[in-house]
Amino acid sequence: MQKQVISTKPIRSLEDAIDRCQTLGMRVSRQRRFILELLWQAQEHLSAREIYDRLNQEGKEIGHTSVYQNLEALSSQNIIECIERCDGRLYGNISDSHSHVNCIDTNQILDVHIQLPEDFIRQVEEETGVKITEYSINFYGYRQNKTES
C-alpha cells in the first residue's frame, strides 16, 4: 500500500488554500469558502467573533458553531494560522513558517518573512545541539512616528 504524500508547498493564495482542502479530502462548503475568502481579503489576524461578525455584516449568514468548527478544521490541517493569545485565538491566512511584529499601540499582529544569517543559525545549533529546520520570531514594539527620523 502506498502512502499518500501531501504537498508541503506554502499556501500563498486563496486558490492554494482551497486546493489544499481538496487535496486533504476536506469538503469546501459554502461556509468554509466564506471564511477563507474573508481571511484572504482582510489580510490581518482576526478572532472567531470578528470573523462571525464580518461575515454576517456582509450578508453571509453563518452560525457561531459553524465558524468555530471550520476554523478548528482549517487550522488543525495548517491551511490557516492560529495564534494563541491570553485574550483568545486569532486566525490569519499565512500558514507557512513566518515571524510576527506585535504592535503594542494597536494590538495588531503583522506578518513578516525574515531570513536569519546562516552563521547565526549555526551558532544556535552549536549552542543547543539542535538542528534548526524552521523558526519564528516575535517582535514587540510601538508604532514609529513617521515625522521623526
28-42 per-position pLDDT tens digit: 999 999 999 999 999
- Bridge partners (DSSP) listed for residue 110: 101
- Bridge partners (DSSP) listed for residue 89: 84
Per-chain mean pLDDT for the chain: 89
DSSP-derived secondary structure letter, 144: P
CB 36 within 8 A of CB 14: yes
Instruction: Report the Cα 148 to chain-centroid distance in Å.
Output: 32
End-to-end CA distance of the chain: 63
Rg (CA), the chain: 18
Residue type, 32: R
pTM for this structure? 0.78
Residue type, 125: E
Average pLDDT (35-54) is 95
